[in-house]
Amino acid sequence: MAKAPRYGDVGPAEPLGTLANGVLRALWDATLSESGDALSGDGVEAIHDMRVAIRRLRSAFRTFADCYPQKPLERIARRTRRLGRKLGEVRDADVHLAVLRSALAGAAEGERAGILFAIEQIGESRGRALAQFAILLSQFDRHALERMIERV
């Protein structure tokens, strides 16, 4: 299960921009920490955890929107949303595959071929979505996120 990262020691005298920077950095690091296992192809839990981390990051973008220049933030938020959507396709396939594999165990002989076909098709679709996600992640402008954070 994805745990929210720690944001360090934050007190009432801390400037909002400093807090925002710490939160965004921690959430981005949490997102990337799952990428190795997620991209390996077998990391079902890492896919879920990375997706949760991306949702938290997107939420932080909205929470701290007033701390950052609007255009860079919107551009990064849009790209992050694309990452999340593509990862959602992979996660949806994982859920469907788990259900189908479970159904296969108790399926009648006449049902097995259809279930196996569905597993094969969804598995291929998952592989394509994961490959597309890997491309999107490799093209993500991490430096733009860093530059935006440094401006505050």
Read off the pLDDT of residues 101-115 as tens digits, 9 standing for 90 and up.
Answer: 999 999 999 999 999
Q: Where do the H-state alpha helices sit in 35-108?
A: 35-39, 44-63, 70-105
Nearest to 94 by CA among 138, 35, 51: 51
Condensed to tens digits (0 to 9), the pLDDT of residues 72-101 reads: 999 999 999 999 999 999 999 999 999 999
Which amino acid is it at 152? V
Read off φ and ψ for residue 117, nearest 5 degrees.
-65, -45
pTM: 0.83
Instruction: List the chain domain ranges.
Output: 16-150
Domain 16-150 adopts which CATH fold? CHAD domain (1.40.20)
